[in-house]
Amino acid sequence: MRDNGSNIAAAALATLVALAAPAVADSVTVAVRTADGDALSGAAVVLRPLDAAAAAPAAAPTAAGPATMAQQNQEFTPGVLTVSRGGAVSFPNLDAVQHHVYSFSAARTFELPLYKGETPPPVAFDQAGVVTLGCNIHDHMRGFIVVADSPFHGVTDDAGRIELDVPAGEYQLVLWHARQRETPAAESIAVSGPLTLDRRLDVRPPPKPVVKGLKAWVAE
Ligand SMILES: [Cu+2]
């Protein structure tokens, strides 16, 4: 015979556990392509919570410490980085030559005078927006930090994809790419389960790669 009383108690307990548990995250995959349909890497993707339910667990991701934008082989790596507003970024120089990192962007103006070896203290980013990085010594060096007004953000990989885990709710989807021809319109999306979004961005073609030697000629 079943004990009805304990069944009811168990059901009540299960309900309490469900209520106390943090909101279950849904996986949102954003696949970004060029107007021609090619996978587009290096696109920043931000999901900005539009309602309180989605915004609730906003604190977590920045607890991991500063993000990293290194300089290696006279390039910023990664070339594009997203951080939550209020987050910090470290700029280690992995090269044997000195770099002089700067930004004149409105979202964050700063300068890390000539250095190599020891990494300067991380730089905090308190205002949402796009920060363009340069190096005073190497004019060709360009890097970008997209400061997001949200803890849910990332950069598309070589397949043009990024997967973000977010609680169910309403979000504004914001896309950005360094070579975009115009600012894409932000759109509202509702997340109530796993979701895949295919989006296109009209971008300028990448600059022609510098021919570095015979191999490059043979490859053409
Ligand atoms: Cu440099």
Which range of residues forms the domain containing residue 108?
25-202
Ligand 1 center to residue 146 CA distance, Å? 21
Ligand 1 center to residue 95 CA distance, Å? 9
Domain for residue 17, yes or no? no
Give the pLDDT score at 60: 45
What's the rounded Cα separation, in Å, for the pair 74 and 5?
A: 70
Give the pLDDT score at 22: 53
- Total domains, the chain: 1
Domain for residue 112, yes or no? yes
pLDDT confidence band for 186 (50 / 70 / 90): confident
Domain for residue 5, yes or no? no
pLDDT confidence band for 207 (50 / 70 / 90): confident
What's the rounded Cα separation, in Å, for the pair 181 and 218?
A: 33
Q: Residue 216: pLDDT above 50?
A: no
Ligand 1 center to residue 182 CA distance, Å? 29
Domain for residue 70, yes or no? yes
Domain for residue 8, yes or no? no
Domain for residue 53, yes or no? yes
The 3-state DSSP class for residue 13 equals helix
Give the pLDDT score at 124: 97
- Tell whether pTM > 0.75: yes
How would you list the strands of the sheet with 142-148, edge to edge? Answer: 80-84, 142-148, 129-135, 99-103, 110-115
Domain for residue 10, yes or no? no
What integer is the mean pLDDT of 174-186?
95
Domain for residue 134, yes or no? yes
pLDDT digits 0-9 by tens, 38-70 = 999 999 999 999 987 666 554 444 456 799 999
Ligand 1 center to residue 191 CA distance, Å? 42
Query: Helices H, strands E: what count in the chain?
Result: 3, 17
Query: Exposed, middle or buried, 28 (CB in 10 Å: 0-12/13-18/19+)?
Result: buried
Supply the CATH number for residue 126's domain. Answer: 2.60.40.420
Give the pLDDT score at 217: 46
What's the rounded Cα separation, in Å, for the pair 115 and 101?
A: 9
